[in-house]
Amino acid sequence: MTDIIMPALSPTMETGTLAKWHIAIGDAVRAGDVIADIETDKATMELEATESGTVTGIMVAEGTADIAVGTVILQLGTFGANVAPPAAPPPPPMSPAAPAAQTDQAEATALGRKLGQLLGLSLSQLAARAPAQRIGMAAVMEAAGLGLPAAAAPAPAQVTLPAVVAPPVGNLATAPFETMALSGMRRTIARRLTESKQQVPHFYLTVDVVLDPLLALRARLNESLAARGIRISVNDMLLKAQACALLQVPEANVSFTDDGIRRFARADISVAVAIPGGLVTPVIRDASGKSVSAIATEMQALGAKARDGRLQPSEYSGGTASLTNLGMFGITQFDAVINPPEAMILAVGAAQPRAHVADGSLGIATMLTATGSFDHRAIDGAVAAGFMAAFRALVENPWQIVA
């Protein structure tokens, strides 16, 4: 018998959801066959069998969430093994009904508990008077001296009680709503970003950048690349500028660990990509060493895989810094949450015409606002300011990033 376990399909995966089985009891499975779809903290991925054999046991039902990594989810026997259909679980054993006096000795009815609270009587006081019976309304009234003994008390339906209004719980909205189950990805996003804001001392620096030179260079590059079917986006060029700025200010291309500060020799930029149900961060490795056209081609391919849920762990983990852009939504400026263990993330807003003074003259320029979020444990203010200045200089003099 071979056990197939829930694997760790990403570096941060602790639990997974078994979204769909592709096999059934009695099926023959060979190593490499796709046996299930697993929803991880980042995407829905296909699970391949690591061994061959006949399916003898499916240990986890389809749709089960929060399955811990290492849990046995499937059992395989030898090929050709006779497999009996799964038996229905036996019904729970029947037991004779016990008298209420034995089963409910320490129990108060909801009605009795409410009335006891109104009359200032504790459960222990009531239990002392009625140790061998269910503590109901009659017992409470007897204890308070307000009615007949419990044995002769009228039925609860014949007694009119004062209205009990439950106090409001928090500030809950009363509008109609539906509760949507948390996916593995959403749980992980919530956990990791909460940890980031609680444990990482964020500070923020913002610069306004003149974008016109970059837009002009981008237009010329796209004209020359049109025959190859390549189109460079503004974000591709900003990504390259960020990577180059990190190499110019290597003290900002770091990560904080308990053992010390890691300074990276290259800039691997994680790019936030929105997908249904959350976001993922495909990584452009060695972004400063790649041409802008290569970055554009790679980013298009990774973005498509991200939206299809086909990214592999090696494609979305291990960045040294992040870039997020909400300019396409008209957002002019925002502060992003650092994605640990990285120590910085650059948030880019929309490009828009603004008043700008150049050489003492007031004019109009296309500008954008960029805000860096920095981990103060690893990056000091002066270092962060040097990085932001380097980034602005590269964007405003973009030939430096394509030279």
* Model pLDDT, residue 133: 52
**Residue 48 and residue 124 share a domain:** no
- The answer to the question of residue 151 being in a domain is yes
pLDDT in tens, 113-139: 655 665 666 666 666 555 545 566 566
Tell me the residue range of the domain where 285 lies: 201-402
Q: Please, what's the b/e burial string for 260-294 (b: 16 or more CB within 10 A of its CB; e: otherwise)? A: eeeebeebbbbbbbebebbebbbbbbebbebebbe
Share of the chain above pLDDT 90, in %: 51
**Residue 381 and residue 343 share a domain:** yes
pLDDT band at 95 (very low <50, low <70, confident <90, very high): very low
**Residue 45 and residue 136 share a domain:** no
Rounded Cα distance between 146 and 152, Å, is: 13
pLDDT band at 101 (very low <50, low <70, confident <90, very high): very low
**Residue 386 and residue 254 share a domain:** yes
* Model pLDDT, residue 149: 44
* Model pLDDT, residue 142: 65
Three-class SS of the chain = CEEEECCCCCCCCCEEEEEEECCCCCCEECCCCEEEEEECCCCEEEEECCCCEEEEEECCCCCCCCEECCCEEEEEECCCCCCCCCCCCCCCCCCCCCCHHHHCCCCECHHHHHHHHHCCCCHHHHHHHCCCCCECHHHHHHHCCCCCCHHHCCCHHHCCCCCCCCCCCCCCCCCCCCCCCCCHHHHHHHHHHHHHHHHCCEEEEEEEEECHHHHHHHHHHHHHHHHHCCCCCHHHHHHHHHHHHHHHCHHHCEEEECCEEEECCCCCEEECEEECCEEECCEECCHHHCCHHHHHHHHHHHHHHHHCCCCCHHHHCCCCEEEEECHHHCCCCCCCCCCCCECEEEEECCCEEEEEEECCEEEEEEEEEEEEEEECCCCCHHHHHHHHHHHHHHHHCCHHHHC
Mean pLDDT, range 73-99, rounded to an integer: 59
Mean pLDDT, range 12-38, rounded to an integer: 88
Give phi and psi for 302, each to the nearest 5: -65, -40
CA–CA–CA angle 255, 284, 256 (5° rounding)? 5
Residue 403 or residue 191, greater confidence: 191
- The answer to the question of residue 252 being in a domain is yes
- The answer to the question of residue 85 being in a domain is no
Q: In residues, how long is the chain?
A: 403
pLDDT in tens, 305-321: 988 888 888 899 999 99
Asked if 327 contacts 349 with a C-beta cutoff of 8 angstroms, the reply is: yes
**Residue 363 and residue 286 share a domain:** yes
Residue 105 or residue 289, greater confidence: 289
**Residue 289 and residue 385 share a domain:** yes
Residue 22 buriedness (CB in 10 A; 0-12 / 13-18 / 19+): middle
User: Is the four-CA dihedral 100, 105, 107, 113 of positive or negative sign?
Assistant: positive
**Residue 345 and residue 207 share a domain:** yes
pLDDT band at 182 (very low <50, low <70, confident <90, very high): confident
- The answer to the question of residue 391 being in a domain is yes
**Residue 32 and residue 146 share a domain:** no
**Residue 248 and residue 121 share a domain:** no
- The answer to the question of residue 233 being in a domain is yes
Q: What is the chain's alpha carbon radius of gyration, rounded to the nearest angstrom?
A: 32
pLDDT band at 355 (very low <50, low <70, confident <90, very high): very high
**Residue 256 and residue 118 share a domain:** no
- The answer to the question of residue 215 being in a domain is yes
* Model pLDDT, residue 256: 96
pLDDT band at 99 (very low <50, low <70, confident <90, very high): very low
pLDDT in tens, 255-285: 999 999 999 999 999 999 998 878 899 999 9
Rounded Cα distance between 240 and 288, Å, is: 6
* Model pLDDT, residue 143: 64
pTM beyond 0.75:
no
Rounded Cα distance between 103 and 93, Å, is: 18
Mean pLDDT, range 156-185, rounded to an integer: 67
**Residue 397 and residue 306 share a domain:** yes
- The answer to the question of residue 86 being in a domain is no
Find the CATH number of the domain harbouring 306: 3.30.559.10
Residue 236 in this model has a pLDDT that exceeds 60: yes
* Model pLDDT, residue 137: 55
Residue in this structure with the two tokens 């603004």, named with its chain if needed = 354
**Residue 386 and residue 271 share a domain:** yes
Share of the chain above pLDDT 70, in %: 76
Residue 230 buriedness (CB in 10 A; 0-12 / 13-18 / 19+): middle
The catalytic site residues sit at 376
Find the CATH number of the domain harbouring 61: 2.40.50.100
Asked if 237 contacts 220 with a C-beta cutoff of 8 angstroms, the reply is: no
Give the chain's mean pLDDT.
83
- The answer to the question of residue 189 being in a domain is no
What is the number of domains present in the chain? 3
* Model pLDDT, residue 150: 43
* Model pLDDT, residue 163: 54
